[in-house]
Structure 1
Amino acid sequence: MNTFQHGGGVARASRRLGLDASAILDFSASINPLGMPEAVLEAARGSLTQAVHYPEIDGASLRGALADFHGISPDHILPGSGSTELIYLLPRVLRPRRALLVTPAFSEYERSLKQGETAVDYFPLRPEDGFRLDPARLLGRLEADTELVVLANPGNPTGATIEPAALEAIADGLANRGVLLVDEAFIDFDPQLSVIDRVPSHSNLYVLRSLTKFYAIPGLRAGYLAGPARGVARLAAARPPWSLSSPALAAALAALGEEGYRQQTLALIPELRRQLSDGLESLGLTVFPGAANYLLAQIPLGMRDAASLAARLEEQGVLIRCCANFPPLDERYIRLAVRSEFENRRLLVLLDDALHGH
């Protein structure tokens, strides 16, 4: 796991192909197909008149709003410039000697741990098991000096989910020896699985959240962390000031008020995901069940591998995510965002041609 690549390369693809960015159809980054809510866009625009001033030094207004939104004390919340800032902050401050990383996983977990000189072990989930996590088996893999377990719910790129009771069992199994970090970047697409409301009951449970995927604002960089009050205070003291820009703060605050948008998304995504899954299976791909706004699919032997397929589609202005750098996955796996019905159908037509040579 030494290659750090990500989806969302629209700017790079538009330069290489000589196309406007709006002409690129991006299935490599999993962003809500409803797009940015209008009220969020207007809030970000309106905040630009205040750009002559420094933004809040610590994002205090967002911290309070998030605490109200989740029904927990502000002492348990730390906003950040996207959850990635906090992925790097936590190991730098807590300095765990050894970490167990559940894979396949977002590559920045490993990168942040190694930058903090944390030894990293891996707990690979298997496709033949549907990428299901067994808490007892995970706890049995802990070394004597393991002080951190990192996992995502839903998993990225798998989309597989973990029940809250299983996560609490892991936190309890780590009590008095280590910390559990749960990345809930995509949990808004299946909110009943969140453990953020359990944070006050555990002294070693940290939860990462992102506002960028669900509310379609990845360019504004807004996220947050929830954890034990003492740990959050340590993290806050170590973070640079003015982490969040005024537009990011305004957009994040406006997003929390978008109840109608949330309900519309939760009604729409499962149907779009089912349609895309059925279409991929009709092309001969194996599709893994997922709860987020993306699907992991395996390409059968005898067809193009993922890198070749991604290159072919990019020439047609369509980006997909090759998952060969998500160990233990290999060159047969791709991740595809769930987009609008029309865009999903276009992707299926292009995939059919690329895989079967029509």
Structure 2
Amino acid sequence: MAKSGQHGGNVLQMAEKCGVDPDLMLDFSANINPLGMPDSLKNAIMTHLHLAERYPDIDYQALHAALSRHTGCPPEWILAGNGATELIFSIVRCLKPKKALLPMPGFAEYRRALQREGCEITHYPLLEEDDFQPTAHILSALTADIDCLFLCTPNNPTGQYPDLALLLAIVAHCQQHDIALIVDESFIDFLPKQQGLTAILAENPKLYLLRSLTKFFAIPGLRLGYLISADEQAISSMRNLQEPWTINTFAALAGETVLDDHRYIQQTYQWLDEEQRYLFESLSGFAALKIWRPAANYIFIRCLDETLNLQDALLAHRILIRHCANYPGLNTHYYRVAIKSHADNQALIAALKQVLPHG
């Protein structure tokens, strides 16, 4: 069977490569909350196991009501899906853009969705000298023939959040020039002081926001994301085109449960505040690494020793990090590291001290 290395979290494949038990591998390649699934959801699933014996509500009314309360947006503006990735393909299939501007490096599924619809792609390179951030130059790159732009905030894999003034200027430019702007906010919940762009949706119907519950609430096996836009016609069209029951019963239950788990949310913020600082400062102590200050729960790095494959070196210590060589615009020297528990983060630093003895 063909195996894919396009994303993080491919622990089984890498453990097989190393000949070790997957349960003994520390996975820093997937950006999942190390606090694990909230107890509130575990209890809800156990209490409602009987729901697996019947079909979910085909309209997921309770789920959309919960997402509406959480975002402050009308249910008519929201479409839940089987993870944000399903919705990337849904929005492109609905809008059918002819020519898109795609910043690189960026999440691979934007490109795949656009290519599937036969969309012409123009690349907008994010440069290391700009800390892989878009600059005002992106406005002039949005020429008259561009009808779609994807932005990821914070960006994946670089972990950078763009300047808010520039982001708002991009939104205004796209609205003025009838360009569909799809902003992927899958990691926005990890930024407690950043609420994303929901407040300006009403006056910007060309703006579409992608959100994910998978990472923050540690449910990658359940899969749950949602799309928000004031473009009710597009949302309705996608809802009508969506295959029935793409969200399983327990994923829907997750969305109805976890958004009200304020204790878990605060515990996550406390963990991230401590461990983001610890791991960033610890990694910054290695002279052989260049580190970018993270906005969310992962850290982007470049190995300055060009003779070293850092992923392979750490695999010898049963630690898996995300190699970013398959991101357009990056090469074999760039990596992404998730922020995990303190013990796991310490294990990573200890392994790096052996891999980079002069750090």
1:234 maps to 237
Stretch of structure 1 that moved more, 321-330 or 24-33: 321-330
Using the alignment, how far apart are the partners of 1:198 and 1:162 within structure 2?
17
Q: Residues 47 and 357 (structure 1 numbering): CA distance in 2 closer, same or farther, change over 3 Å?
A: farther
Please state if 1:105 is matched with 2:106.
Answer: yes
2:263 maps to 260
1:319 maps to 320
SS in 2 for 1:174: helix
SS in 2 for 1:12: helix
Using the alignment, how far apart are the partners of 1:199 and 1:106 within structure 2?
23
For residues 70-109 of structure 1, the aligned pairs below 5 Å read 70-109=71-110
1:197 maps to 199
Match of 2:275 among 263, 272, 276: 272
For residues 173-184 of structure 1, the aligned pairs below 5 Å read 173-175=173-175, 176-184=177-185
Deviation at 1:220, TM superposition (A): 0.4
Match of 2:247 among 225, 244, 247: 244
1:211 maps to 213
Deviation at 1:19, TM superposition (A): 4.1
- The one-character-per-residue Cα deviations of 1:239-279 (angstroms, maximum 9, x if unpaired) are 11101000111122111111111112112213211211121
Stretch of structure 1 that moved more, 54-63 or 69-78: 54-63
Using the alignment, how far apart are the partners of 2:49 and 2:14 within structure 1?
29
8 Å CA contact retained: 1:148, 1:180: yes
8 Å CA contact retained: 1:48, 1:246: no
SS in 2 for 1:356: coil
8 Å CA contact retained: 2:94, 2:234: no
Please state if 1:118 is matched with 2:158.
Answer: no
Give RMSD over aligned pairs. Answer: 1.8
8 Å CA contact retained: 1:82, 1:224: yes
Using the alignment, how far apart are the partners of 2:23 and 2:62 within structure 1?
34
What is the one-letter code of the residue matched to 1:286? K
2:42 maps to 41
2:144 maps to 144
Aligned residues with identical type, % of pairs: 38
SS in 1 for 2:202: helix
Using the alignment, how far apart are the partners of 2:358 and 2:25 within structure 1?
22
Which structure 1 residue ranges, 5 or more long, are not aligned? none
8 Å CA contact retained: 2:84, 2:212: yes
2:66 maps to 65
Stretch of structure 1 that moved more, 18-27 or 51-60: 18-27
- The one-character-per-residue Cα deviations of 1:109-159 (angstroms, maximum 9, x if unpaired) are 10111011111111111121122222x311201232211100100011111
SS in 2 for 1:140: helix
Using the alignment, how far apart are the partners of 1:118 and 1:45 within structure 2?
45
Using the alignment, how far apart are the partners of 1:76 and 1:25 within structure 2?
39
- The one-character-per-residue Cα deviations of 1:65-85 (angstroms, maximum 9, x if unpaired) are 111111111111000000000
Using the alignment, how far apart are the partners of 2:5 and 2:123 within structure 1?
17
Deviation at 1:357, TM superposition (A): 8.3
- The one-character-per-residue Cα deviations of 1:24-54 (angstroms, maximum 9, x if unpaired) are 2100001112111111122233333111111
SS in 2 for 1:208: strand
8 Å CA contact retained: 2:323, 2:335: yes
SS in 1 for 2:250: helix
Using the alignment, how far apart are the partners of 1:235 and 1:157 within structure 2?
28
8 Å CA contact retained: 1:4, 1:107: no
What is the number of equivalent residue pairs in this alignment? 352
* TM-score, with structure 2 as normaliser: 0.93
What is the one-letter code of the residue matched to 1:162? P
Please state if 1:50 is matched with 2:54.
Answer: no
- The one-character-per-residue Cα deviations of 1:165-199 (angstroms, maximum 9, x if unpaired) are 43332122112521100000100011424112322
Deviation at 1:302, TM superposition (A): 4.8
Using the alignment, how far apart are the partners of 2:199 and 2:25 within structure 1?
39
Stretch of structure 1 that moved more, 10-19 or 243-252: 10-19
Please state if 1:168 is matched with 2:168.
Answer: yes
8 Å CA contact retained: 1:164, 1:194: no
Q: Residues 303 and 269 (structure 1 numbering): CA distance in 2 closer, same or farther, change over 3 Å?
A: farther
8 Å CA contact retained: 1:183, 1:209: yes
